[in-house]
Amino acid sequence: MERIEFNALTNMSKKNLPDPIKIIEKAISLGQRGIAITDFNNVRAFPIVCKYLSSNNITNFKVIYGAKVKMLVNEFLVTINIIVRNEKGLKNLYKIISLISKNNLDLKKKVITREDLVSLSNGLLYGLDVNKMLDIYDDLSDEDIVSDMMWYDFIMVRSDERNQDKLKRIINLARDYRKIVIGISEDSYLKSTEELMNDFAFLDSDTAYDIVIENPNLLSDLVDDNILIYDNHVYLPKIKNSKKILKDEVYKKARLIYGDKLPKEVEKRIELELYGRDSLKNKGIIGSNYETIYLISKMLVDYSKSLGYQVMPRGGVGASFVAFLLGITNINPLPMHYYCEYCHEFYIIDEDKYKTFHEMPDRICKCGKTLLKDGYNIQVQLFLGYDLTKRPEININYATEIEDKLEDYLKQLLKENTVIRAGTYNSKGIPGINPGGVMIFPDYVEVEDFTPIEYLSKNLITTHFDYHDLTRNILKINCLYHDIPTLLSNIKENNNNRIDDNNLSEYSYLLGEHSKTFKEIVKLLKPKNYYEYVISFGLSYENLFTNYKELLINKQITIKDIIASREDLYDYLLSLKIDSRTSYLIADYISKGKKEHWNEIEEYLKTYKVKDYYLDILSKVTYLPYKAHLISYINSYLEFLKHKDN
């Protein structure tokens, strides 16, 4: 039988210590059957460990979750290890870590009282680090030492050549009173079973075997297997009658634009987004219970507009027709179309020569009125997922001036829930804040069901875990801030459909102000219409321009050959007659800069005779922006620049 270490610290405690995965790998390589992760005053290694075990399907090695803390007793501090026995204990450990953070703010010390540990003891085991108590125990009688040790569930000892007699005395007292005594390694080094047995050679062989091998295994057996750090359920805030409210709002706006008898294309897109395709059940926004995400975003956008500030959506939200109808975005993702606001004439334009409605000619309706044009032709799949079950991530840029007001409004709006800032931490484990990121813990859960709380200041608390480790369970609202909404607030609200398409060239030099790279792109490509400006703007992201530059200079390709967005890539793959699901999976994978399976993807694309230069470019992609993101930004820049000198 091999031993189990109950005193493993990671780089979450000290930068020079190994990361959690390396410690686990070492324990496995030593043949040990488990290890307890017990970092000082934090549990940030837990999500890392959980993901590692799951992704590598490790089932025959037991990771025990815990933490090392300082307990305040009278006037001195006692170092103890806390071990999680079950899921109730995990939550109580999170509460303990929260209290320590709060005490550090209030008392300027990372400590916790014995009274608090008693109140939160359910599901936990408390272990005393005896080596830290040797001087104190020197002055106590055997009865007093036993009395103190009886409060703990187990006793930890490490080798100390200078204090072997003292350790013998304490070990024998603990064993006499049937306390579990376990041998541990030093904080910074994981020892093999043989090494640790040698450390305790000053004890008789039976005692050494008990504390190095037998007792750690007995202690491990008290801990539940497969304690979950997170599950796969999404815990969203609730709004009464949310499904009905969303549906009513969407159809109300759709009928206002397109008439009481909605065109079949409009109705089909709404139903697709709300409920999924006919063959799917419990899909789409309402089918997946994501309607509250849309409603919260709508209320925030409406509040911003009520203060006189426009917004600038970012990311993929402009791909959602539902978001357009709710006023979250002003990008209409339907196919290019004409419609009449008087008689509600409607028809789709599917001519290949037009990429967006901006290129379409003006037309007169049969009723004599000028037809309106709209439609950026954006499919929703890359935003909501191929099966329309992906949780929508709605990102909005708000005016910088309203940051405090907006966050106060969000807390008031969701006052029955817990709204706290999204936490981060750097390579040294120092906590920080994700700019604009807010986590919404619904009223039917507690924060410590998922993470401890980090107290950064009197008025600022964040999640102890990095927000990336929480978003699978908890909704993150991104209240991001940008100068353009502020600048647009000084301009009378304009409909972006009214951008003067015939005079785009006048703005080319102004658009160059966005970035030096974009200015160079515009100079080289000389975009002639609206969508060519969108492509040019897309090239300014990440290293895309670098990938295309030589091909463009040598005239091996033209602007029409450029893949500048996720949707461009998706449409290109579909044009090759690759089935829609495979096209989606490849486009989604490449757009996020993933590389692990590129060789297989490349070989697959070669069977469809994809050109070598495309394969080379796609292999280098680190990120592709959403088409809707590019359109939203370029519309906002153009809107501002049109009025800049007025």
Kindly state whether residue 190 falls inside one of the protein's structural domains.
Answer: yes
Instruction: Provide the residue type at 156 as one letter.
Output: M
CATH of the domain at 454: 3.30.1900.20
Q: What is the pLDDT of residues 73-119, one digit of tens each?
A: 988 999 999 999 999 999 999 999 999 999 999 989 999 999 999 99
Instruction: Provide the residue type at 643 as one letter.
Output: H
Helices assigned H by DSSP within 177-263 = 193-199, 205-209, 215-221, 242-258
% residues pLDDT > 90 (the chain):
81
Q: In whole numbers, what is the pLDDT of the chain averaged over residues?
A: 91
- Retrieve residue 401's tokens: 């001036």
Residue 97 pLDDT: 98
Kindly state whether residue 639 falls inside one of the protein's structural domains.
Answer: yes
Kindly state whether residue 390 falls inside one of the protein's structural domains.
Answer: no
- Retrieve residue 400's tokens: 């910088």
Output the CA–CA distances (angstroms, integers) from residue 4 to 8, 50, 65, 195, 226, in the order listed.
10, 18, 13, 13, 16
First to last CA, the chain: 82
Pairing, β 124-129 against β 76-84: antiparallel
CA within 13 Å, CB half, 54: 13
To the nearest 10 degrees (0 to 180), the angle between helices 264-275 and 242-258 is: 160
Kindly state whether residue 346 falls inside one of the protein's structural domains.
Answer: yes
Of 488, 505, 538, which closes a domain?
Answer: 488
Kindly state whether residue 88 falls inside one of the protein's structural domains.
Answer: yes
DSSP string over 198-210? HHTTTS-HHHHHI
Task: Name the band, by pLDDT with cuts 50, 70 and 90, for residue 518.
Answer: confident
The dihedral over CA atoms of 281, 284, 285, 287, expressed in degrees to the nearest 10, equals: 0
Do 51 and 103 lie in one domain? The reply is: yes
Whether 134 contacts 93, CB under 8 Å: no
Kindly state whether residue 229 falls inside one of the protein's structural domains.
Answer: no
Do 214 and 281 lie in one domain? The reply is: no
- The SS3 of residue 65 is strand
Q: Which residue has the tokens 């993470």?
A: 451
Q: Is the pLDDT of residue 531 over 80?
A: yes
Task: Name the band, by pLDDT with cuts 50, 70 and 90, for residue 642.
Answer: low
Q: Is the pLDDT of residue 510 over 70?
A: no
- The SS3 of residue 250 is helix
- Dihedrals φ, ψ of 432, to 5°? -150, -165
Task: Name the band, by pLDDT with cuts 50, 70 and 90, for residue 495.
Answer: very low
Do 310 and 408 lie in one domain? The reply is: no
Whether 242 contacts 291, CB under 8 Å: yes
Closest CA to 626 of 334, 323, 313, 341: 313
Domain range holding 379? Answer: 242-384
Q: E-assigned strands of 292-375?
A: 312-314, 337-339, 346-348, 372-374
Q: What is the pLDDT of residues 549-562, one digit of tens each?
A: 999 999 999 999 99
Q: Which residue has the tokens 């579990």?
A: 180
Of 430, 465, 488, which closes a domain?
Answer: 488
Q: Which residue has the tokens 């899909």?
A: 283
- Pairwise pLDDT comparison (603 vs 510), residue with the higher score: 603
Task: Name the band, by pLDDT with cuts 50, 70 and 90, for residue 515.
Answer: low
Residue 189 pLDDT: 85
Instruction: Provide the residue type at 189 as one letter.
Output: Y
Residues 6 or more apart whose Cβ sits within 8 Å of residue 523 = 512
Q: Is the pLDDT of residue 207 over 50?
A: yes
Q: What is the pLDDT of residues 433-443, one digit of tens each?
A: 999 899 999 99
Neighbours of 415 (CB within 10 A): 10
Residue 509 pLDDT: 47
Neighbours of 558 (CB within 10 A): 10
To the nearest 10 degrees (0 to 180), the angle between helices 291-306 and 242-258 is: 60
Of 349, 384, 419, which closes a domain?
Answer: 384
Do 214 and 336 lie in one domain? The reply is: no
Task: Name the band, by pLDDT with cuts 50, 70 and 90, for residue 494.
Answer: very low
Task: Name the band, by pLDDT with cuts 50, 70 and 90, for residue 542.
Answer: confident
Q: Is the pLDDT of residue 646 over 60?
A: no
- Pairwise pLDDT comparison (387 vs 509), residue with the higher score: 387
Q: Which residue has the tokens 């043989």?
A: 194
What average pLDDT does this structure show over 505-524? Answer: 66
Distance of CA 323 to the CA centre of its chain: 21
Give the integer Cα–Cα distance in Å for 127 and 100: 18
Residue 242 pLDDT: 96
Q: Is the pLDDT of residue 601 over 70?
A: yes
Do 52 and 183 lie in one domain? The reply is: yes
Q: What is the pLDDT of residues 323-376, one digit of tens each?
A: 999 999 999 999 999 999 999 999 999 877 888 899 899 999 999 999 999 999
Do 336 and 272 lie in one domain? The reply is: yes
What average pLDDT does this structure show over 177-182? Answer: 95
Do 53 and 188 lie in one domain? The reply is: yes
Output the CA–CA distances (angstroms, integers) from residue 634 to 249, 401, 485, 499, in the order listed.
28, 22, 13, 11
Q: Which residue has the tokens 């020197």?
A: 138
Do 174 and 297 lie in one domain? The reply is: no
In DSSP terms, which residues pair with 150 in a beta bridge?
none
Residues 6 or more apart whose Cβ sits within 8 Å of residue 424 = 431, 432, 433, 434, 462, 466, 467
Output the CA–CA distances (angstroms, integers) from residue 510 to 276, 325, 522, 638, 645, in the order listed.
42, 31, 11, 9, 11
Distance of CA 573 to the CA centre of its chain: 28
Q: What is the pTM of this model?
A: 0.90
Do 271 and 216 lie in one domain? The reply is: no
Closest CA to 197 of 186, 210, 178: 210
Task: Name the band, by pLDDT with cuts 50, 70 and 90, for residue 282.
Answer: confident
Q: Is the pLDDT of residue 179 over 90?
A: yes
- Retrieve residue 246's tokens: 């969303």
Whether 159 contacts 197, CB under 8 Å: no
Q: Which helix (H) or strand (E) holds 297?
A: helix 291-306
Residue 520 pLDDT: 87
Residue 33 pLDDT: 92
- The SS3 of residue 114 is helix
DSSP 211: I
Give the integer Cα–Cα distance in Å for 175 and 189: 26
CATH of the domain at 62: 3.20.20.140
Kindly state whether residue 227 falls inside one of the protein's structural domains.
Answer: no
Give the integer Cα–Cα distance in Å for 46 and 229: 7
Distance of CA 252 to the CA centre of its chain: 33
Closest CA to 34 of 44, 47, 49: 49
- Retrieve residue 390's tokens: 């992906």
- Total structural domains within the chain: 4
- The SS3 of residue 515 is coil
Kindly state whether residue 526 falls inside one of the protein's structural domains.
Answer: yes
Do 307 and 426 lie in one domain? The reply is: no
Closest CA to 581 of 289, 279, 319: 279
Do 197 and 81 lie in one domain? The reply is: yes
Q: Is the pLDDT of residue 493 over 50?
A: no
Do 478 and 520 lie in one domain? The reply is: no
Q: What is the pLDDT of residues 563-582, one digit of tens each?
A: 999 999 999 999 999 999 99
